[in-house]
Each structure stands twice: as C-alpha cells, then as structure tokens.
C-alpha cells in the first residue's frame, strides 16, 4: 500500500500518526519555520499526499511548496485552514471527516447552551469559593427550555443541534445561504434577521473565506442585551472584538464559546466575565468520536493510495 509518499503536516492523534508512519513511512514537516523552509526546498517535490488536521491544514504557501501534491487528507470536518481554491485549481483532492462528529459537536453546543443560560459553571465556581454558605443562594438564571433559537448554518451539525433543541421545546429558525428544502424550521434571510428573532444564536456555519465575520456588530446588536451567543463552528465566523465589546458593556447577556479567532489565545477580557463559558475547542473531543474520525481519515488515505480517490472528498 506504500505507493504514496506521505507528508505529515502538524501534530496528529497518536493512532493516526502511528499508522501514517508505520504503514506509509510518512515524513513529518518540521514545525520550526526556518527548518520548514529548508526542508521544503530540499524535499517539497517528493510528496503526493499531505495528512493534516483541521487546525493546521495545508495553507497557500505550503501548498505552493508541494508541487507534486495530489491529495490533502484532513482530520476534522472543517478544512478552512487548507487552501481549497488552490487545491481546486491544481486538481488536488481534499478530504474531511463529516458526519462522525455531528453528535459530539451538537452535544457541546447543548452543553454551552444549558451552561450559559442556567449558569452552571458560574454556580459551580460560587460553591467552590464558599459563597453559598457565606452569601446565600446563587442569583436566578435564565430558563433554557422554550426559547427562540436561531441556528446560523443548518448543515449536518446544525441539524443535529436543532433536533436536540426540539427536546427542550425550543422554536427554531435558521439562516443559510439558501433555504434547506423540506426543513421544518423557519428560514431567515440574513444573520441579522435571524438574530433579531432569536433569544439565542447558535453558530454552526462552516469556516472559510465566505463566512469571515458573518456575525459582526449589526448581528450582535440585533441579538441584544437579553440575547446569548453560542459558537461551536470557527472563531473566524464572529467579529471577536465586537463580541468582547458587547459582553463588556452589557449589550449581550452572555456567550458560550468553543472556538476563537486566534486559538489557543483567548481574549483576556473574557476571563473575568462570569456570564461567558469558555471551552478549549473540544467540540469533537471524545474517545468515541476521535476514534471514528481517525478511522475515516485513514480510510481516505488508504483509498487514495489504492485508487487515487477519496471516501469523503470536499473537492
């Protein structure tokens, strides 16, 4: 099966890393920029497949430095770190890991939803600091059931989030570039219109150039001082400075964030806010789901090695 020359770009889950090294003799691209440049000058033309993660990807410059590249096998459903336009132009195939992580990312969205509205993390801190005994009952929170929830990006993950929210008797509406045929949920023509009609806005839209700062000041203002924002998609979809400013000045009630603009950096101002729940991009991070993602990543690599096609291509 070793008829492809594999370059490992960035860290991989140990089981995937072992498989690419043992089964394909993968070579790891150095992380250090100077070493990387020297390596690519020497060996850039040697590789026809890059295996990477959604967080690292094969960006514009790196892809240019790999003239023989035929495929990018991506661990993760999001592939916004990979230059898909260049890949299309050059006929480079790109795969991702769709479907297998829908449940866990949707569960994470629901965890943030419940936590931000019912303030469970804040209440946990209250107990640990001894405030229950010292200061009495924790302040009242916001009811989570029965809310109007707007989903920005009713794709695979957004649809699973919506299904879970039905169990909480929520009224669901959504915005996509186009209405989803047959969807039982109300379509809103713009992100701002969606926010205007929502108590909670949940972002499940794909990252990439088309969704950069889709949620900006106008959308945040439409959500308003009693509105909540949940983001399990990509930090790039939100104007983070506008979000932080709104949270600091009470123009938004709270936020639950699994993703940030420049991970792993989290704006210092958010760390002191009790109405914000911050997670370290763990949406798909369970043993079961990461194992399924690993399996699908390796299935893509194997199929490409055998037939030059991918199991789950994005282009």
Q: Which two tokens stand for residue 83?
A: 């230059």
Q: Which two tokens stand for residue 68?
A: 């023989």
Shortest Å, Cβ 53 to ligand 8YV: 3
Which among 119, 175, 188, 281 is annotated as catalytic? 281
How crowded is residue 103: how many other Cβ atoms within 10 Å of its Cβ?
A: 17
Is residue 99 flagged as an active site residue? Answer: no
Sort strands 6-9 and 49-53 into parallel, antiparallel or unpaired. Answer: parallel
Q: Choose between 128 and 265: whose C-beta lies nearer to ligand 8YV.
A: 265
How crowded is residue 76: how many other Cβ atoms within 10 Å of its Cβ?
A: 22
Q: Choose between 75 and 304: whose C-beta lies nearer to ligand 8YV.
A: 75
Q: What are phi and psi of 83, to 5 degrees?
A: -80, 90
Calculate the alpha carbon distances from 76 to 80, 81, 97, 143 in Å. 10, 11, 5, 33
Point out which residues bind ligand 8YV (CB under 6 A).
53-55, 75-78, 101, 281, 283-284
Shortest Å, Cβ 50 to ligand 8YV: 14
Shortest Å, Cβ 57 to ligand 8YV: 9
Shortest Å, Cβ 266 to ligand 8YV: 16
Q: Choose between 260 and 304: whose C-beta lies nearer to ligand 8YV.
A: 260
SS (H, E, C) 271-299: HCCCCEEECCCCCCCCHHHHHHHHHHHHH
Q: Choose between 204 and 229: whose C-beta lies nearer to ligand 8YV.
A: 204
| Sheet bearing 49-53, strands edge to edge | 27-28, 6-9, 49-53, 71-75, 93-95
Q: Which two tokens stand for residue 102?
A: 């829908």
Which among 234, 251, 290, 306 is annotated as catalytic? 234
Shortest Å, Cβ 313 to ligand 8YV: 16
Q: 177: which DSSP letter?
A: S
Q: Choose between 206 and 222: whose C-beta lies nearer to ligand 8YV.
A: 206
Is residue 197 flagged as an active site residue? Answer: no
Is residue 35 flagged as an active site residue? Answer: no
Q: Choose between 13 and 245: whose C-beta lies nearer to ligand 8YV.
A: 13
How crowded is residue 14: how many other Cβ atoms within 10 Å of its Cβ?
A: 9
Q: Which residue is nearest to ligand 8YV (CB)?
A: 76
Distance CA 72, CA 53 (A): 10
Of all helices (H) and strands (E), which one includes residue 150?
A: strand 148-152
- Cα maximum dimension of the chain: 68
Shortest Å, Cβ 152 to ligand 8YV: 16
Q: Which two tokens stand for residue 285?
A: 């991070």
Which among 35, 61, 166, 263 is annotated as catalytic? 263
Distance CA 89, CA 101 (A): 29
The residues annotated as belonging to the active site are 234, 263, 281
């Amino acid at each position: 099966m070793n008829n492809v020359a594999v370059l490992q770009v960035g860290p991989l889950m140990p089981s995937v890393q072992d498989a690419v090294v043992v089964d394909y003799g993968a070579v790891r691209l150095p992380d250090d920029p100077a070493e990387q440049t020297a390596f690519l000058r020497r060996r850039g033309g040697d590789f026809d497949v890059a295996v990477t993660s959604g967080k690292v990807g094969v960006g514009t410059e790196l892809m240019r430095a790999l003239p023989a590249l035929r495929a990018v096998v991506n661990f993760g459903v999001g592939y916004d770190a990979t230059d898909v336009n260049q890949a299309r132009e050059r006929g480079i195939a790109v795969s991702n890991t769709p479907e297998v992580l829908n449940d866990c990312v949707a569960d994470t969205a629901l965890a943030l939803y419940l936590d931000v509205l019912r303030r469970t993390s804040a209440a946990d801190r209250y107990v640990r600091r001894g405030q229950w005994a010292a200061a009495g009952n924790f302040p009242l929170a916001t009811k989570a059931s029965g809310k109007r929830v707007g989903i920005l990006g009713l794709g695979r993950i957004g649809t699973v989030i919506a299904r879970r929210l039905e169990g909480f008797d929520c009224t669901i509406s959504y915005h996509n570039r186009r209405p989803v045929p047959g969807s039982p949920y109300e379509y809103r023509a713009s992100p701002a219109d969606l926010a205007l009609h929502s108590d909670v806005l949940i972002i499940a839209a794909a990252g990439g150039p088309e969704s950069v700062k889709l949620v900006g000041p106008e959308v945040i203002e439409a959500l308003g001082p009693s509105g909540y924002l949940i983001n399990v998609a990509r930090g790039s979809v939100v104007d983070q400075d506008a979000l932080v400013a709104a949270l600091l000045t009470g123009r938004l009630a709270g936020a639950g964030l699994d993703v940030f603009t420049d991970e792993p950096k989290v704006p210092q101002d958010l760390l002191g806010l009790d109405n914000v729940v911050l997670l370290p991009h763990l949406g798909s991070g369970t043993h079961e789901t990461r194992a399924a993602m690993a399996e699908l990543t390796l299935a893509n690599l194997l199929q490409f090695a055998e037939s030059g096609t991918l199991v789950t291509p994005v282009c």
